[in-house]
């Protein structure tokens, strides 16, 4: 069974700092890995998808890297803003069980 761990569980930074969010997973047999954002009491919004054959994916201030063989992905958010405050979840999509497995998330607070 895929186990997904996200470190740190919570992070508080002043505006303008770069954010580094870590995700590790135990089963490297994946189709892709997705990063989601969740605002309090809301659903999840997909931020980035990295295919298993890719090393990284970028969208604006967001960059996600993937090292499938070591079971790690990192989400970088450049020049953080208060609007980036949310919980970020990573989810690899397994090829064996055909489903996403979620980490518990990293809750980010960006202080103005």
Partner 1 sequence: DVKVTQSSRYLVKRTGEKVFLECVQDMDHENMFWYRQDPGLGLRLIYFSYDVKMKEKGDIPEGYSVSREKKERFSLILESASTNQTSMYLCASSLEAGGANEKLFFGSGTQLSVL
**Residue 105 binds partner 1, judged by CB under 8 A:** yes
Name which of 42, 20, 23, 26 is nearest 34 in CA terms. Answer: 23
Name which of 28, 60, 33 is nearest 49 in CA terms. Answer: 33
- How far is residue 79's CA from residue 45's CA, in Å, rounded to a whole number? 20
72-77 vs 86-94, strand pairing mode: unpaired
Site string for partner 1, 61-80 (x = CB under 8 A): --------------------
Site string for partner 1, 23-62 (x = CB under 8 A): --------xx-x-x----xxxxxx--x-xxx---------
* Conformation bin of residue 79: beta by default, left when phi > 0, alpha when psi is -120 to 50: left
**Residue 5 binds partner 1, judged by CB under 8 A:** no
**Residue 18 binds partner 1, judged by CB under 8 A:** no
Q: Where do contacts with partner 1 occur on this chain (CB under 8 A)? A: 31-32, 34, 36, 41-46, 49, 51-53, 89, 91, 93-95, 98-100, 102-105
């Amino acid at each position: 069974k895929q186990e997904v761990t996200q470190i740190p569980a919570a992070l508080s930074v002043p505006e303008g700092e770069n954010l580094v969010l870590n995700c590790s997973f135990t089963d490297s047999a994946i189709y892709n890995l997705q990063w989601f954002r969740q605002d309090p009491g809301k659903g999840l919004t997909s931020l980035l998808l990295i295919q298993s054959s890719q090393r990284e994916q970028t969208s604006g201030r967001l960059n996600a890297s993937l090292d499938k063989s070591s079971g790690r992905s990192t989400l970088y958010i450049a020049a953080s803003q208060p609007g980036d405050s949310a919980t970020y979840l990573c989810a690899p999509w397994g090829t064996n069980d055909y489903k996403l497995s979620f980490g518990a998330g990293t809750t980010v607070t960006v202080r103005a």
